[in-house]
């Protein structure tokens, strides 16, 4: 295999809706990627019309869950893979239809829809176990010497520039003194307040003394100056940006993988998901949770990485990379 390949990935939030209401097939033909990976297809092959399964010039493959109308990933490809398989080899996860693996010889493509941990603590535990099993799985493939191209909805924003409101979604405490509020970060240090200077004994915002406190002050230092708060509100943070999830992303990268978009773009306000209920896309209050990763050895083959933020049809937008095969 030589030349170049353009690969796209998109959480379509229901492939049948994307087809009937959003013109997915027409968009795919017009956009003309060599490889198109889909997540959250929410359909079994027997529920798909022939027009979705037999798009001219593409072979199609689908990994589907036991439960209909849920999860699922799909692949449309102009380049015929040597082999296609499904799952991690762990029944607990494979029954949800989240993983499709296509071996293209020079590289192995892993199209994956990682679990969301927001619904309950049990699902968060499930997500973290899935992450760990996946890391073992992808490391085994990498050890075979083939390049790794991973794409999909990771359901985690790695760093603060990967979401519009990192502080609001991080674990933090609010201490109230009447109507005045002191905000503590995940490390239990002051990161701000609501500027009630007539109530709060604030310093010049950078340090604390025996009679004032400032940014970075500990809870003990604040209590010594300010006294006991009248009310304490603890927020656990939002799944998708929890310390445990971000720590796993650090671990994954430390195993020898690169975020292709951050290889070429370090700017904030580049997002791939927006909450539809709050019309967050209109204000670009989003998260970058849809990504392409490659292993370090394959990184030189990446000629470009991009986000197609103007493409509508889902609460996510497509992301892509250009692969150069010499």
Catalytic residues: 153
Judge whether 193 and 180 are in contact, CB under 8 Å: yes
Q: Helix/strand/coil (H, E, C) string of the chain?
A: CCEEEEEEEEECCCHHHHHHCCCHHHHHHHHCCCEEEEECCCCCHHHCCHHHHCCCCCEEEEECCCCCCCCCEEEEECCCCCEEEECCCCHHHHCCCCEEEEECCCEEEEEEECCCCCCCHHHHHHHHHHHHHHHHHHHHHHHCCCEEEEEEECCCCCCHHHECCHHHHCCEEEEEECCEEEEECCCCEEEEECCCCCCCCECCCCCCCCCCECCCCEHHHHHHHHCCCCEEEEECCCCCCCHHHHHHHHHHHHCCEEEHHHHHCCCCCCCCEECCCCCHHHHCCEECCEEEEEEHHHHHHEEEEEECCCCCCCCECCEEEEEEEC
Report the C-alpha gap between 86 and 105 in whole angstroms.
17
Report the C-alpha gap between 63 and 47 in whole angstroms.
13
């Amino acid at each position: 295999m030589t030349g170049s390949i353009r690969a796209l990935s998109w959480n379509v939030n229901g492939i049948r809706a994307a087809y009937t209401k959003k013109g997915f097939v027409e968009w795919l033909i017009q956009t003309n990627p060599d490889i198109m990976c889909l997540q959250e297809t929410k359909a079994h092959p027997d529920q798909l019309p022939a027009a979705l399964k037999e798009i001219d010039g593409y072979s199609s493959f689908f990994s589907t869950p036991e439960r209909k109308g849920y999860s699922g990933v799909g692949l449309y490809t102009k380049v015929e893979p040597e082999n296609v398989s499904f799952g991690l080899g762990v029944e607990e996860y494979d029954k949800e239809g989240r993983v499709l693996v296509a071996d293209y010889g020079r590289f192995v493509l892993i199209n994956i829809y990682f679990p969301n941990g927001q619904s309950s603590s049990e699902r968060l535990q499930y997500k973290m176990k899935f992450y760990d099993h996946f890391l073992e799985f992808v490391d085994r493939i990498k050890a075979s010497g083939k390049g790794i191209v991973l794409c999909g909805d990771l359901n985690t924003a790695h760093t603060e520039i990967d979401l519009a409101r990192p502080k609001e979604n991080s674990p933090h405490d609010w201490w109230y003194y009447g109507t005045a509020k002191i905000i503590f970060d995940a490390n239990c240090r002051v990161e701000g307040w609501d500027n009630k200077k007539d109530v709060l004994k604030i310093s010049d915002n950078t340090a604390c003394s025996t009679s004032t406190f400032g940014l970075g002050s500990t809870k003990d230092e604040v209590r010594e100056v300010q006294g006991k708060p009248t009310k304490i509100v603890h927020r656990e943070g939002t799944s998708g940006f929890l310390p445990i999830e971000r720590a796993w992303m650090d671990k994954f990268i430390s195993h020898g993988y690169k975020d292709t978009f951050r290889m070429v773009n370090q700017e904030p306000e580049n997002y791939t998901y927006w909450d539809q209920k709050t019309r967050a896309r209109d204000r670009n209050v989003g998260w970058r949770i849809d990504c392409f990763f490659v292993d370090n050895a394959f990184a030189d083959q990446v000629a470009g990485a991009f986000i197609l933020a103007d493409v509508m049809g889902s609460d996510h937008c497509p992301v892509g990379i250009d692969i150069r095969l010499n």
